[in-house]
Every structure is written in structure tokens, then in C-alpha cells.
């Protein structure tokens, strides 16, 4: 697997800007190799007809939707669910049930707020782990109704 592809997956899964040091740590490489791979990834996205782009922000690098697609985003994403929250929900759906601690490792500390929102919306439920300090997170019936699917195998 190319390092640039691994970094692309990391940026997608984290769903938030990451510094070069954070990217290098998550990718298991040194900072210099991470910087080269990020430039390669940015160049690759700049030269292809893609809805996504890798951008450098004050807080780090981020994989995001190109600004010309923001109108489409507003029409397709339910107003009460932001992109980060949807990515967190997708992680829960793909790994259900998942420990909250595992989810935080995967998605970062912003996922705590996403979990709170998803519980309030009734899309997931939390139950305390019997032999630990974390919570099990799993989908509710409302999730299946909201997204009009009968089971996860349809995803």
C-alpha cells in the first residue's frame, strides 16, 4: 500500500484537520515521508476530476468536499447531521456494536459530541460495558427507518 493512499484513508476516517506529526504517527512513518506523501496526495487530487480535495488549513491537512459542491451537500445531507457526525454514524454502523473507546480512537475526541447528538436523535443507543468503563454503541430501529434500510447487509 502506498503511503499516500494510507494517509488519504487516515484523513477520510478522522474527518478533521490533522498536523503532519499526527498524520505521521497514525501512518507509522517519519515526518519527512509524511510530508512527501501529503504533497503527492494533494497533487493527485489537484490533477483529477474529483469532488474531493486535500487542503492545508491553519490546524493541519484535511480531506474535504470541493467548495463548488457545497450546494449539493446542503441538499443531500440532513440538516441535523453534519458531515463529521455522519462519518461517526457510518463508523458505528459498519462496526456495530462498537466500544465508545474504539470509536474515539478511530474518529478522534470530537466523536464524543457526535455520539451525544446521535443518541439524542435516537439513531444509536449507549449501554455501559459490564466489565469495563466504556460504553457499547449500537444502532437503533430508528436508524434503519430513517435511512430506509432493513439490515446492514444493504449498506
pLDDT tens per residue, range 33-76: 999 999 999 999 999 888 889 999 888 998 888 878 766 655 55
Among left, alpha and beta (phi > 0; psi -120 to 50; other), residue 13 is: alpha
Predicted local confidence at residue 71, as pLDDT: 67
In the prediction, which pLDDT does 65 show? 81
pLDDT of residue 14: 82
Q: HSE-up of 57 (CA within 13 Å, CB side)? A: 14
- Cell 447531521 belongs to which residue? 81
Question: Exposure of 121 by Cβ count < 10 A (0-12 exposed, 13-18 middle, 19+ buried)?
Answer: middle
Q: In the chain, what are the domain boundaries? A: 3-69, 77-154
Report, as ranges of residue numbers, the positions in the chain whose pLDDT lies below 70. Answer: 70-80, 150-155
Domains 3-69 and 77-154 share a fold: yes
Instruction: Specify the CATH class of 3-69 in words.
Output: mainly alpha
Tell me what pLDDT residue 70 has: 67
Helices 31-46 & 20-27, crossing angle to 10 degrees? Answer: 100
Q: Please give the pLDDT value at position 77.
A: 55
Confidence at residue 127, expressed as pLDDT on a 0 to 100 scale:
94
CATH architecture of 77-154: Orthogonal Bundle (1.10)
Rg of the chain over Cα atoms, rounded to whole angstroms, equals: 17
Amino acid at each position: 500500500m502506498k503511503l499516500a493512499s494510507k494517509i488519504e484513508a487516515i484523513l477520510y476516517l478522522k474527518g478533521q484537520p490533522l498536523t503532519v506529526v499526527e498524520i505521521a504517527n497514525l501512518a507509522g512513518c517519519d515526518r519527512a515521508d509524511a510530508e512527501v506523501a501529503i504533497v503527492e496526495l494533494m497533487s493527485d487530487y489537484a490533477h483529477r476530476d474529483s469532488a474531493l480535495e486535500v487542503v492545508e488549513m491553519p490546524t493541519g491537512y484535511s480531506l474535504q468536499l470541493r467548495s463548488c459542491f457545497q450546494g449539493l451537500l446542503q441538499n443531500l445531507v440532513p440538516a441535523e447531521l453534519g458531515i463529521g457526525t455522519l462519518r461517526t454514524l457510518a463508523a458505528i454502523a459498519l462496526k456495530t456494536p462498537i466500544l465508545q473507546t474504539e470509536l474515539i480512537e478511530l474518529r478522534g475526541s470530537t466523536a464524543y459530541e457526535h455520539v451525544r447528538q446521535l443518541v439524542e436523535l435516537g439513531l444509536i443507543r449507549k449501554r455501559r460495558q459490564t466489565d469495563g468503563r466504556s460504553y457499547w454503541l449500537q444502532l437503533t430501529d430508528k436508524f434503519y427507518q430513517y435511512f430506509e434500510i432493513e439490515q446492514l447487509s444493504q449498506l
